[in-house]
Structure 1
Amino acid sequence: MADAAYRRVADAVRAEIEAGAYPPGERLPSVQKIAEVNGVSKQTAHNAVQALVKEGLVHVVPRQGTFVRERPRERAVIRDRTVYRDDIGYFFDKNAQNWRAIGPPTRRIAPAPNHVADLLGVARGENVLIRDRSMGPAGAAKPLQVAMSYLPLWVAGEVPVVGGDQTGPGGIYDRLEEHFSAPLEWQETVSARLANDTEQDRLSCAPSAAVLVVTRESRVRRNDAFVVVEVNETAMPADQFAVSYAVQRDASAAWPRSEEPADGSAEG
């Protein structure tokens, strides 16, 4: 019965939020007030609020209260899978062309996550150069993406500017192409996972919230072979982003079809 009681209260508060009684950014009534309004104990009301926290609908600010999260009803940005260029340099999302770093980027030497080390071709646990940025629309106070670039130390040794504060016009990608006298090529993988501590803090994600992660390998040809010179991993709230791309026909799926199936049947 206790379980049913807190769920009933959670449903009631959720309905009020969805009806607009508590818009995004507004503080919920105290646990004591929720308990009184719903005729339950303070502990039951507390359990109901915690259930909404786990859903990602609200978040708790220490010593201030519980606030409704800003959750878009529609995904705000569609990422396509094309690289573009403007007078600043390469960018990978038309919708985010005007985005900038929010707060100063940081640089450090530390081991990369195991899956990134594998992509870079370095030993797990080996130090790499990590460039860390929080990104958002120009003028925004809060970022919508956390972007980490990982570079092998041999690349940082050959191209020292990539470890500096100012990397010049076009950023590290232009510096890498200049050094290797060859164009970069990119391979991306899109995945999802729960937000880590850094992402929860910077993106205001609930512990139970998912982030969409785009892992991009930057490859360049050297001595007749491709080497991975950087891996960029960008995490963004999964409820605000989607990935969009064109579906192309393979030669086997060409139209008009050259011939029908031998048995005369049509395939959907």
Structure 2
Amino acid sequence: MALWEQIADQIRADIIAGRYPAGDLMPREIDLAPIYGTSKPTIHKALARLEAEGLVEQTQGRGTIVRLHPARQRLTLDTHAYRDDLGYYFGAAVQDLRALRTPTVAEGPCPPDLLPVLGLTIGASVVIRDRVIGNPETGDVVQLTTSYLPADLAAGTVLADEDTGPGGIYDRMEQDLGWGELKWAAGVYARAAAPEEVRLLGLAPGVPVLCVARTTTATAGNAAGRVVEVNVTRRDASRWEIGGPVIRR
């Protein structure tokens, strides 16, 4: 292990132990060097590693701050789709969130990892609906949501419009397109954040996005039995967790 990695381990342990409290400004690099018996360049490399891990944040003009880690808000990944006056929603934690700007709708190639899910082949097109979702009172962005719909089903329909009307795309699928009662399934994974996700979600360095991928399957009409949408929602992984009760069998 390189010396700077050893120093990073020591500083990390001191942060966890509370030597440098969350929200506080750490000593300057030149002052940390004698504390850990090393040089300023080594301290700089160690702090860069801890910033990549999301433990500290290096600010212009102020120095290095120990990041605050607020309590995570829990999402319950259950098997229910709920309805209110605005249409379907998935979980009480997100019921009050709203679109903060007009959806962006475009047609483009299907991402490779979604090809088998949507039953498409390489080169197939999808209608891509991007939404920025958050608190309508504060304007804070909470999640980014992207829907991928097979172009052979969605292009040229209301599903490709910016405004899909009351109830959104799911009511259009069930009520207007005749795709029957929709069925959903969901999974959870994490990945590194893309630059635009970092910007919109205000992510600290090193923080990944927590992704909930939900598939929508039609039960009737010309789309019967097909996955007609993959919805990928991304959130700040340092602020959200997936949880639920542990049921004794």
TM-score of the aligned structures, taking structure 2 as reference length: 0.80
Q: CA deviation at 1:16?
A: 5.3
Matched residue type, 1:99: L
Cα 1:155–1:212, aligned 2, differ >3 Å: closer, same or farther? Answer: same
Structure 2, unmatched stretches of 5+, are none
Give 1:164's aligned residue. 161
Kindly report which structure 2 residues correspond to 1:1-268, keeping only aligned pairs within 5 A, or say none: 2-3=3-4, 4-12=6-14, 15=17, 19-20=21-22, 22=24, 31-32=29-30, 34-35=32-33, 40-60=38-58, 66-72=64-70, 74-81=71-78, 82-157=80-155, 159=157, 161-181=158-178, 182-206=180-204, 208-221=206-219, 222=221, 225-245=224-244
Larger radius of gyration: 1
- For the 8 Å contact 1:114–1:125, the answer to whether it is kept is no
- Measure the CA separation in 1 of the matches of 2:19 and 2:182: 48
Q: Which has the higher contact order (CA 8 A, sep 6+)?
A: 2
TM-score of the aligned structures, taking structure 1 as reference length: 0.75
Cα deviation, 1:206-264, whole Å, max 9, x if unaligned, reads 56433322111111123694112111011223333233456789xxx7xxxxxxxxxxx
- Measure the CA separation in 1 of the matches of 2:75 and 2:14: 33
Matched residue type, 1:80: L
- Measure the CA separation in 1 of the matches of 2:15 and 2:33: 11
- For the 8 Å contact 1:195–1:207, the answer to whether it is kept is no
Structure 1, unmatched stretches of 5+, are 254-268
Matched residues, number: 244
Q: CA deviation at 1:12?
A: 4.0
Cα deviation, 1:95-119, whole Å, max 9, x if unaligned, reads 1111112344322222222222221
Matched residue type, 1:46: H
Q: In structure 2, the residue corresponding to 1:144 is in which secondary structure?
A: strand
CA RMSD of aligned residues (A): 3.2
